[in-house]
């Protein structure tokens, strides 16, 4: 069975920002981890191209929406390749195939008697592409996310009978694994308990969208169309493109990883739409927090937006990944601080993990002729082996419950403890006595072996750094052997040659 994971489909009103990079990196780490466990993974990302927001952005630039979307979609696609994101599907909601899926899906929902014509009146945030629940002083109220005034709308729209699914949605959202973390689940439970209202799924004032069959002047509401992008993605790039094909090839999604602002769409509207169409709801919706910069919301007006392109070219992929994965607990808000970033990278990656590799390989090269030493059992208890085994168990447990920060900390802790083991045993003193040679061999073997395991555990988190570590130990990850088997203690071959070492990470300077 496939494991399907998705990022949100990003609006193409602008190029990727750090928030989109964050979500995509987390998804990438999870996708890589599941592949290591032998799962067939379908990792979906893509862009959400329709709607009023995009139509206006293109108008402001004086170009056709399609031209604008082509340009920004390409930037997203190239960007994810630059970040070494291992996505399997990149879906564009302006594609012809997607339109076919939307139409097919709409027919199913209509056949369930869940569509009717009504009048939609209310205050709308174009940034969110969402009606807001009767805010007080609506004409002066600004959307807290976009800091823009709401717009009054009053038009005939097609509606989806969301209210009909009250009971089913209540049951679903109470399942403890459906919405995580718990704070997010509670928000949604509260929202649903107030009673679900039908919502409009078409627009008469937006031409940049998919036309509703049978209604000349209506296009589908951008969210109705966009959520279906996940379904289209599964059968995209295959010869037959249909709803049935997507259902057979992987539906439902295992995890939608999204920001907390778009939880209602994914955890309430979307499952109801799917049930109406006779399809299964996603298995899990994981809502992450928001990133701020030096404690402040990032925004163009504040002039504090962090350009991910600059970050990537200045520091490289692994440092940014490490900071975002290890320093932010998934679900909580996170803050990007320049000084903290430099300190964490220098402490964790350069001084702890990099230095460990450097120490271990230079001692082996000096004392054992550039080779992995013998591994004869001298000590009665191998503390490092025991520590590594516990680390692996905890790491897997934490990854399985998507606590990636804790998984990363487990690896770091193993590196810290391996350095301590070296310090405590002081092989540089022991080596002075000839009789101690077997003991020194054992110590250095243990340190090298522990470093090999650190390298393997870093594979989904920091793919590049991980390969560099294992290359320098002459023991690379082999995809034909299950990853978990390769984590077994003692697999580093004694007497094998150690390649010439080179620094795996450069220390960063704080400017
Ligand atoms: N197009 C919709 C999603 C449709 S999914 C079928 C959309 N796009 S978005 O580009 O505006 O937002 C994409 C994601 O970025 C959302 O999950 C949102 O929470 C996230 N973020 C936006 N700003 C963010 C931060 N400052 N920090 C972290 N994530 C943030 O919504």
Q: Could you tell me which residues come within 8 angstroms of residue 41 by beta carbon, excluding any fewer than 6 positions away?
A: 2, 3, 4, 5, 31, 34, 35, 88
Q: What is the dihedral of CA 350, 356, 360, 365, to 10 degrees?
A: 10
Tokens standing for residue 315: 């520091």
Mean pLDDT of the chain: 94
What gap in Å lies between CA 267 and CA 178, rounded to an integer?
A: 8
CB 201 within 8 A of CB 159: yes
What's the Cα-to-Cα distance from 27 to each of 203, 372, 496, rounded to whole Å?
32, 36, 36
Helix (H, G, I), strand (E, B) or coil at 478: coil
Mean pLDDT of 101-112: 98
Q: Hey, CA dihedral for 122, 126, 130, 134, is it positive or negative? A: negative
Residue 378: what pLDDT?
Answer: 86
Closest ligand 1 atom to Cα of 229: 6
Residue 134: what pLDDT?
Answer: 64
**Best substitution site from 49, 228, 259 to test ligand 1's pocket, by max atoms within 8 Å of Cβ?**
259
Mean pLDDT of 185-211: 96
Kind of pairing between the strands at 202-203 and 215-220: antiparallel
Mean pLDDT of 149-163: 91
What gap in Å lies between CA 500 and CA 497, rounded to an integer?
A: 9
What gap in Å lies between CA 504 and CA 199, rounded to an integer?
A: 53
- 338-486: CATH architecture: Orthogonal Bundle (1.10)
DSSP string, 160-198: E-GGGGHHHHHHHHHSTTTEESHHHHHHHHHHHHT----
User: Which protein residue's CA is at the shortest distance from atom 6 of ligand 1?
Assistant: 227
Tokens standing for residue 487: 């984590």
132-136, 225-229, 415-419, 461-465, range with the lowest pLDDT: 132-136
Where residue 301 falls among pLDDT bands split at 50, 70, 90? low
What gap in Å lies between CA 3 and CA 125, rounded to an integer?
A: 34
Residue 386: what pLDDT?
Answer: 97
Q: Which residues pair with 285 in a beta bridge?
A: 179, 256
Strand ranges in 348-451 using DSSP code E only, listed in sequence order: none
Strand ranges in 135-274 using DSSP code E only, listed in sequence order: 151-160, 179-180, 199-200, 202-203, 211-212, 215-220, 255-259
CB 73 within 8 A of CB 49: yes
User: Is any ligand 1 atom within 6 A of the Cβ of residue 253?
Assistant: no
How far does residue 493's CA lie from ligand 1's centre (Å)? 47
Mean pLDDT of 454-463: 98
Residue 502: what pLDDT?
Answer: 87
pLDDT in tens, 394-427: 999 999 999 999 999 999 999 999 999 999 999 9
How far does residue 258's CA lie from ligand 1's centre (Å)? 7
User: Is any ligand 1 atom within 6 A of the Cβ of residue 308?
Assistant: no
How far does residue 8's CA lie from ligand 1's centre (Å)? 7
How far does residue 13's CA lie from ligand 1's centre (Å)? 12
Domain boundaries, the chain: 2-289, 338-486
Give the Cβ contact number of residue 138 at 10 Å. Answer: 14
Cα-to-chain-centroid distance, residue 208: 29
The yes-or-no answer to whether 2-289 and 338-486 have a common fold is no
Tokens standing for residue 40: 């067939």
Q: Which residues pair with 255 in a beta bridge?
A: 5
193-202, 299-308, 330-339, range with the lowest pLDDT: 299-308
Where residue 127 falls among pLDDT bands split at 50, 70, 90? confident
Which of 417, 429, 428 lies closest to 382, judged by CA?
A: 417
Residue 305: what pLDDT?
Answer: 81
How far does residue 270's CA lie from ligand 1's centre (Å)? 16
45-59, 122-136, 258-272, 445-459, range with the lowest pLDDT: 122-136
User: Which protein residue's CA is at the shortest distance from atom 30 of ligand 1?
Assistant: 19
Closest ligand 1 atom to Cα of 298: 26
User: Is any ligand 1 atom within 6 A of the Cβ of residue 11?
Assistant: yes
How far does residue 16's CA lie from ligand 1's centre (Å)? 10
Closest ligand 1 atom to Cα of 291: 27
What gap in Å lies between CA 308 and CA 273, rounded to an integer?
A: 35
What's the Cα-to-Cα distance from 489 to each of 133, 407, 452, rounded to whole Å?
57, 19, 10
pLDDT in tens, 306-319: 899 999 999 999 99
Mean pLDDT of 373-388: 93
**The listed CATH number (3.40.50.970, 3.40.50.620, 2.40.30.10, 3.30.56.10) that belongs to domain 2-289:** 3.40.50.620
pLDDT in tens, 251-294: 999 999 999 999 999 999 999 999 999 999 999 999 999 999 98
Report residue 87: phi and psi, to 5°.
Answer: -70, 150
Residue 135: what pLDDT?
Answer: 62
Tokens standing for residue 248: 């057979």
Residue 120: what pLDDT?
Answer: 85
User: Is any ligand 1 atom within 6 A of the Cβ of residue 262?
Assistant: yes
Tokens standing for residue 157: 């729209």
User: Is any ligand 1 atom within 6 A of the Cβ of residue 48?
Assistant: yes
User: Is any ligand 1 atom within 6 A of the Cβ of residue 227?
Assistant: yes
Residue 136: what pLDDT?
Answer: 63
Closest ligand 1 atom to Cα of 230: 6
pLDDT in tens, 221-231: 999 999 999 99
Which of 220, 166, 233 lies closest to 194, judged by CA?
A: 166
Q: What percent of the chain has pLDDT over 70?
A: 98
pLDDT reading at 30 higher than 90: yes
pLDDT reading at 321 higher than 70: yes
Where residue 137 falls among pLDDT bands split at 50, 70, 90? low
User: Which protein residue's CA is at the shortest distance from atom 11 of ligand 1?
Assistant: 11
What gap in Å lies between CA 403 and CA 181, rounded to an integer?
A: 10
Which of 66, 89, 86 lies closest to 232, judged by CA?
A: 89
User: Is any ligand 1 atom within 6 A of the Cβ of residue 159?
Assistant: no
Q: Give the residue, 206 or 143, on which the prediction is more confident.
A: 206
pLDDT reading at 141 higher than 80: no
pLDDT reading at 300 higher than 70: no
pLDDT reading at 139 higher than 70: no
User: Is any ligand 1 atom within 6 A of the Cβ of residue 290?
Assistant: yes
How far does residue 447's CA lie from ligand 1's centre (Å)? 43
CB 125 within 8 A of CB 133: no
How far does residue 251's CA lie from ligand 1's centre (Å)? 23
What gap in Å lies between CA 124 and CA 149, rounded to an integer?
A: 9
pLDDT reading at 148 higher than 90: no
């Amino acid at each position: 069975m496939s494991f399907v994971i998705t990022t949100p489909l990003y609006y193409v009103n602008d190029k990727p920002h750090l928030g989109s990079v964050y979500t995509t990196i987390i998804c990438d780490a999870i996708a890589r981890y599941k592949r290591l466990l032998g799962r067939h993974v379908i990792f979906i990302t893509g862009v959400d191209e329709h709607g009023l927001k995009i139509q206006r952005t293109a108008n402001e630039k004086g170009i056709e929406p399609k031209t604008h979307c082509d340009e920004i979609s390409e930037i997203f696609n190239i960007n994810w390749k630059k970040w070494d994101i291992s996505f399997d599907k990149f879906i564009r909601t302006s594609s012809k195939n997607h339109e076919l899926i939307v139409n097919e899906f709409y027919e199913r929902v209509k056949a369930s008697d869940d569509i009717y014509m009504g009048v939609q009146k209310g205050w709308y945030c174009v940034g969110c592409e969402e009606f807001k629940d009767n805010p007080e002083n609506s004409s002066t109220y600004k959307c807290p996310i976009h800091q823009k005034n709401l717009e009054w709308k009053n038009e005939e729209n097609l509606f989806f009978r969301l209210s009909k699914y009250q009971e089913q949605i209540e049951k679903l959202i109470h399942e403890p694994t459906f919405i995580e973390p718990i704070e997010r689940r509670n928000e949604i439970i509260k929202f649903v308990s107030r009673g679900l209202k039908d919502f409009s799924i078409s627009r008469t004032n937006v031409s940049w969208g998919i036309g509703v069959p049978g209604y000349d002047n209506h296009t589908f509401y951008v969210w109705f169309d966009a959520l279906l992008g996940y379904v289209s993605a599964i059968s995209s790039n295959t010869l037959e493109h249909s709803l049935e094909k997507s259902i057979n090839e992987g539906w439902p999604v295992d995890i939608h990883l999204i920001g907390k602002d778009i939880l209602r769409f994914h955890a309430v509207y979307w499952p109801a739409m799917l049930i109406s169409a006779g399809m299964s709801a996603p298995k899990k919706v994981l809502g992450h927090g928001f990133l701020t910069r030096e404690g402040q919301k990032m925004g163009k007006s504040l002039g504090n937006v962090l350009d991910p392109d600059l970050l990537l070219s200045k520091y490289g992929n692994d440092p940014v990944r490490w900071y975002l994965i290890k320093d932010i607990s998934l679900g909580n808000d996170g803050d990007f601080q320049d000084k903290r970033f430099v300190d964490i990278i220098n402490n964790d990656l350069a001084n702890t993990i990099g230095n460990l590799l450097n120490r271990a390989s230079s001692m082996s090269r000096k004392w054992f002729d550039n080779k992995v030493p013998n591994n004869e059992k001298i000590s009665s208890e191998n503390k490092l082996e025991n520590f590594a085994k516990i680390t692996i168990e905890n790491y897997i447990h934490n990854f399985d419950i998507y606590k990636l920060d804790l998984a990363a900390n487990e690896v770091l802790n193993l590196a810290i403890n391996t350095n301590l083991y070296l310090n405590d045993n002081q092989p540089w003193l022991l080596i002075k006595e000839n009789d101690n040679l077997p003991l020194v061999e054992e110590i250095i073997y243990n340190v090298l072996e522990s470093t090999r395991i650190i390298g393997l555990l870093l594979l989904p988190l920091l793919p590049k750094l991980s390969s560099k570590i294992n290359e320098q130990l002459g023991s690379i990850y082999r995809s034909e052997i299950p990853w978990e088997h390769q984590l077994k203690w003692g697999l580093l071959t004694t007497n094998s040659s150690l390649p010439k070492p080179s620094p795996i990470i450069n220390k960063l300077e704080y400017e």
